Amino acid sequence: MPRNLKNPVSKDELSEIIAGLNQSPKMISPKYFYDEQGSRLFEQICELPEYYLTRTEIDIMQSCMDEMSARIGKQARVIEYGIGSGLKTRILLEGLDDPVAFIPIDISPEHLAEASRELAQRFPHIEILPVAADFTRPVLIPETKRKSLRNLVYFPGSTIGNFEPDAALELLRVMRQEAGPGGALLIGTDLKKDPQIIEPAYNDSHGVTAQFNLNMLRHLNRKFDSDFNLQHYRHHATYDEQSGRVEMHLISEDDQQVTLGEHQFSIANGEKIITEYCHKFSPEDFRELASCAGFCHVNSWTDLNHWFSIQLFECH
């Protein structure tokens, strides 16, 4: 059964947020979207008609899982970076040949505990070992009772696109280390396409993405005792074709002062805080990035529209 999980405030986290708010433009890491409320809102986003990413990736998983399983092989130890809603995880665990353990790593301990309990009930024969941690930093992977034949790092949802290229490369290198000799990586990547398809996915007509974005400030207020006034910010997202990424912002609608610990920040009317980049890839560009991290491309699966890709890599 899942262990007890805690999420204490660390000096590193506080320093990271202070450094981001001292930048120009200001920036807050997208990992702070994911408290319990943020995780629930993201699950709602995944069900919106404009948000093609999740349903497209699920369609690929469901239609291609047999081939994925054959290439991954039996008795894998699955390490997932970010647990999400758990639906894609269930498809993977059901489709793999005798997986020995599942190790989800997630920054939100409440969401992680709930998702892990559900998976433990659904897959009583698979050892579930949740780890509450920031997967962008080194993580101690727990030992499993059964011996695995290989490690499989699983990173769905095109979350790799939230990282700047250098940071994405560094994270892929961490994954390469976690996968180890003979290990593999199964990863989802959103592909470059018409902006008229991409932009509505981040500006939905129901305003759920706006709530999700603003909830980041609520999360910071609760966790770090800051005093962001959510009523003085508005959500904005746009796709920059030249850089190949969506840029999501919170824009200040007033001149204001924000206190975070012993620090105070001035935020001008109209000033933006960047909360997320969502890079889109060509299949070739991502294969080259993964190769630089020590991975060798095995196979790719995509939908009929070529909107999304799931790629399998093995360690060099």
Domains of the chain from N-terminus onward? 52-193+285-315 (3.40.50.150)
Q: Take residue 226 and report the two structure tokens written for it.
A: 């800051």
More confident residue, 34 or 189: 189
Torsion (CA) 21, 26, 32, 37 in degrees, nearest 10: 110
Segment 28-50, tens digit of pLDDT: 999 899 888 998 999 899 999 99
Segment 80-133, tens digit of pLDDT: 998 877 889 999 999 999 999 999 999 888 889 999 999 999 999 999 999 998
Residue 1 has pLDDT above 70, yes or no: no
DSSP, collapsed to helix, strand or coil, labels residue 314 as: strand
- Other C-beta atoms closer than 10 Å to the C-beta of 13 total 18
Q: How many CA atoms lie within 13 A of 82 on its CB side?
A: 21
Residue 73 has pLDDT above 60, yes or no: yes
The per-residue pLDDT for 135 is: 87
State the alpha helices, DSSP H only, in 73-140.
87-95, 109-122
d(CA 84, CA 46): 10
The per-residue pLDDT for 9 is: 56
**CB within 8 Å of 192: residues ≥ 6 apart:** 244, 280, 281, 282
DSSP, collapsed to helix, strand or coil, labels residue 310 as: strand
Residue 241: enclosing H or E segment and its boundaries? none
Residue 181 has pLDDT above 50, yes or no: yes
More confident residue, 139 or 92: 92
**How sure is the predictor about 2, in pLDDT bands with cuts at 50, 70 and 90?**
very low
**Mean of pLDDT values over 163-187:** 95
Q: Contact, 208 vs 41, CB < 8 A?
A: yes
Q: Take residue 162 and report the two structure tokens written for it.
A: 């939230």
pTM for this predicted structure: 0.89
d(CA 148, CA 155): 19
Residue 204 has pLDDT above 50, yes or no: yes
Residue 6 has pLDDT above 80, yes or no: no
Q: Contact, 222 vs 195, CB < 8 A?
A: no
Residue 4 has pLDDT above 60, yes or no: no
**How sure is the predictor about 297, in pLDDT bands with cuts at 50, 70 and 90?**
very high
Residue 310 has pLDDT above 70, yes or no: yes
The per-residue pLDDT for 39 is: 87
Segment 211-261, tens digit of pLDDT: 999 999 999 999 999 999 999 999 999 999 999 999 999 999 999 999 998
Tell me which long-range contacts 252-258 makes (C-beta under 8 A, separation of at least 24). Answer: 256/229, 256/232, 258/21, 258/226, 258/227, 258/228
The per-residue pLDDT for 161 is: 96
DSSP, collapsed to helix, strand or coil, labels residue 47 as: coil
Residue 5 has pLDDT above 80, yes or no: no
Torsion (CA) 78, 81, 83, 84 in degrees, nearest 10: -130
d(CA 93, CA 101): 9
The per-residue pLDDT for 109 is: 86
Find, among 278, 283, 203, the residue nearest to 240 by Cα.
Answer: 278
